Amino acid sequence: MTEQTKPMEEYNELVGRFIRLANSLKDEGKPIEMISAALMSASGIYATFVAAGNQGFLKKGGVDKITQVYRNNLLNVQKVKQAEAQARSKAPADDSASPTG
């Protein structure tokens, strides 16, 4: 295992935990749009805390930097989703599709 593997494994585990939480909220009957908005708000609040501390706030430059990080992350997610979709279209049909996430 390389030095980079461990942090990436931890990162993926954290992502999975948030997805499982979101799915459990969906299973409770919460609207998926509300869950998504709440996750984005919570992430924005936490990103502000990380960048500016508990009593701080972001100035325009800070908002722009975090917006760029979110944009890059979303673009990476879409690349992965696209690659997964292309791989599925080349693979034989499988009726045991994985759950949401």
Instruction: Tell me the per-residue pLDDT of 4-59, one tens digit each, with 9 for 90 and over.
Output: 789 999 999 999 999 999 999 999 999 999 999 999 999 999 999 999 999 999 99
Domain-located, residue 16 = yes
Q: Does residue 12 sit within a domain?
A: yes
pLDDT at 100 over 80: no
Q: Tell me if 91 is assigned to some domain.
A: no
Say how far apart CA 27 and CA 25 lie, in whole Å: 5
Q: What is the pLDDT of residue 99?
A: 57
Q: Which domain holds residue 75?
A: 5-85
What's at 33, amino acid-wise? E
Can you tell me the mean pLDDT for 51-70?
A: 95
Q: What is the model's pTM?
A: 0.76
Side-chain half-sphere of 66: how many Cα atoms within 13 Å?
Answer: 18
- Supply the pLDDT for residue 94: 56
Residue 93 included in any domain = no
Residue 32 counted as domain residue: yes
- Asked whether residue 99 is domain-assigned, the answer is no
- Residue 68 pLDDT more than 90? yes
Q: Which amino acid is at 74?
A: L
Residue 100 lies in a domain: no
Q: How many domains does the chain have?
A: 1
d(CA 87, CA 79): 12
